[in-house]
């Protein structure tokens, strides 16, 4: 577990990067800099039930994104991201606050340069603060980014970037943004500007989580529970499968759409009217029985009354012809696509119960000090992994890592986040870390690459807070 001295060393390292990497004219010597930090998250349980109103259980990583922001008196926006070079992306971007007039204009700006797609998360955050919160009327902002959180691995690098930018910029503009309001702002950027059909799980974990703990949260829309202390003797690690994944991928959007399609079929069977909720910044549909949350169905009720009612697989055209309007604002139904309706609905309902069970077992372990229930937790984790595949979100590389973990005697393993690739989370005992590293090494050797290993955790964005560097910071570093 990182010490306070290590945390302070990380802050100084970021300050050094600012001082040595930025052009001389990026920051003024007359205005304070505001620094925020947002770590990646490890999806221990619950990925893909945040958008169906289920419970999730999330941990945080040591790897993080850092943002330094300084307010300007004019309307210029300047962003410097030296680390983008390693991915072949642009390292510098400039715009004006007046360019952020509407969402379509923001999207066009992000596509104006071939390597500037990553800027969409930053400009989306600025658009939200300017147009939905009325911040930033006094001028623009200069931003410097640094990150050791790898993108496209299923550890929420995009959410970390959104959260860090929102927190640093709002502070630079004289406003405190924190808690569920900060998480919701990040989700808004992802849904509305970026166009990714995610729930609030990633942003909330990154904002509210703490080192050495797991965050349980009921996503209706964002009801965090008491933090769960990771029991002594238990470790959570992650291995990159090296198969990239994204919440804008076809498989993820198909599985999500299938869940909403199945939910609507159940409501129609019961004669329940679904209506578009009024007044919310993030659009959603609701009704008066399950309140728009598919995960509110009990597994026993689903098995007894609805499972056989739902088709295992059906084309989008057949569903639209029968059910009418699609009730998910963030996915579209392709008439030719086969949708795994039954499996997607079953996952939304049963994963919710699995998460609640694992949470209870971990709390019991932390209280009793006994590891006797760890094999049961591991089995439930593995069930979650299998359920991903049933929804069409499986991946051969992830399956292989899970199989290697189980053959090595580790308690459990599963793919994370939206599935379809990314990081495999591994549940093990303290002292088995070398086994995990050996699995990653052998897996990488066969593929001619070295997979990233995630181990350890760190505090979330709210616990880190905002650090202020005084105007003479750059001069003192020379």
Return the CATH fold of 4-231+459-477: Ribosomal Protein S5; domain 2 (3.30.230)
pLDDT per residue, tens digit, the chain (478 aa), is 444 456 556 777 888 888 776 665 788 878 899 999 999 999 999 999 999 999 999 999 999 999 999 999 999 999 999 999 999 999 999 999 999 999 999 999 988 888 888 999 999 999 999 999 988 777 899 999 999 999 989 999 999 999 999 999 999 999 999 999 999 999 999 999 999 988 899 999 999 999 999 999 999 999 999 999 999 999 999 999 999 776 557 899 999 999 999 999 999 999 999 999 988 889 999 999 999 999 999 999 999 999 999 999 999 999 888 878 999 999 999 999 999 999 999 999 999 999 999 999 999 999 888 889 999 999 999 999 999 999 999 999 999 999 999 999 999 999 998 888 999 999 999 999 999 999 999 999 999 999 999 999 999 999 999 999 886 666 565 5
Positive or negative torsion for Cα 45, 50, 54, 59: positive
User: How far is Cα 281 from Cα 397, in angstroms, rounded to an integer?
Assistant: 38
For the chain, give the number of residues. Answer: 478
The 10 Å Cβ neighbour count of residue 106 is 24
Tokens read off for 462:
């709210």
Prior bond of 426 cis (ω within 30°): no
User: How far is Cα 28 from Cα 36, in angstroms, rounded to an integer?
Assistant: 18
Angle between helices 119-127 and 103-110 (to 10 degrees): 160
Strand 285-286 versus strand 275-276 pairing type:
antiparallel
Residue with tokens 């793919």: 415
pTM above threshold 0.95: no
Which are the contacts of 403, defined by CB distance < 8 A and separation ≥ 6? none
Angle between helices 201-208 and 179-188 (to 10 degrees): 140
Domain residue ranges in the chain: 4-231+459-477
């Amino acid at each position: 577990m990182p010490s306070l001295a290590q945390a302070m060393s990380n802050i100084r390292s970021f300050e050094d990067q600012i001082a040595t990497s930025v052009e001389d004219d990026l920051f003024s010597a007359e205005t304070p800099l505001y620094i925020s930090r947002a770590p990646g998250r490890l999806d221990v349980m619950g990925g893909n039930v945040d958008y169906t109103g289920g419970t999730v259980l999330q941990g945080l990583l040591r790897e993080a994104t850092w943002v330094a922001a300084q307010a300007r008196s004019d309307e210029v926006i300047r962003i410097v991201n030296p680390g983008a070079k390693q991915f072949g992306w642009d390292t510098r971007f400039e715009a004006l606050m007046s360019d952020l007039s509407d969402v379509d204009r923001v999207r066009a700006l992000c596509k104006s340069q071939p390597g500037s797609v990553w800027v969409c998360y930053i400009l989306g955050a600025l658009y939200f603060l300017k147009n939905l919160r009325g911040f930033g009327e006094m001028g623009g902002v200069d931003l410097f980014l640094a990150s050791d959180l790898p993108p496209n691995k299923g550890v929420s690098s995009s959410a970390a970037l959104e959260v860090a930018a929102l927190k640093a910029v709002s502070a630079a503009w004289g406003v405190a943004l924190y808690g569920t309001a900060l998480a919701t702002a990040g989700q808004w950027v992802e849904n509305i500007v970026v166009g990714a059909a995610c729930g609030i799980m990633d942003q909330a974990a990154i904002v509210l989580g703490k080192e050495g703990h797991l965050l349980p949260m009921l996503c209706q829309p964002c009801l965090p529970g008491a933090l769960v202390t990771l029991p002594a003797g238990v470790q959570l690690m992650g291995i990159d499968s090296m198969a990239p994944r994204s919440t804008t991928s076809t498989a993820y959007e198909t599985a999500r759409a299938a869940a909403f399609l199945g939910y609507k079929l159940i409501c129609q069977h019961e004669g329940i009217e679904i209506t578009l909720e009024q007044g919310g910044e993030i659009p959603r549909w609701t009704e008066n029985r399950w309140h728009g949350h598919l995960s509110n169905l009990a597994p026993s009720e689903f098995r007894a009354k609805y499972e056989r009612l739902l088709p295992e697989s059906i084309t989008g055209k057949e569903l639209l012809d029968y059910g009418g309007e699609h009730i998910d604002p963030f996915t579209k139904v392709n008439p030719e696509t086969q949708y795994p309706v039954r499996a997607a609905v079953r996952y939304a309902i049963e994963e919710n119960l699995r998460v609640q069970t694992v949470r209870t077992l971990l709390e019991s372990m932390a209280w009793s000090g006994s590891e006797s229930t760890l094999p049961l937790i591991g089995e439930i984790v593995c069930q979650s992994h299998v359920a991903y595949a049933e929804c069409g979100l499986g991946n051969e590389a992830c399956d292989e890592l899970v199989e290697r973990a189980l053959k090595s005697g580790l308690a459990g393993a599963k793919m994370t986040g939206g599935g379809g690739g990314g990081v495999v989370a591994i549940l093990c005992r303290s002292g088995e870390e070398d086994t995990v590293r050996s699995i990653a090494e052998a897996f990488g050797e066969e593929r001619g690459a070295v997979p990233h290993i995630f181990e350890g955790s760190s505090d979330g964005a709210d616990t880190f807070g905002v650090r202020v560097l005084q105007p003479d910071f750059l001069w003192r570093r020379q």
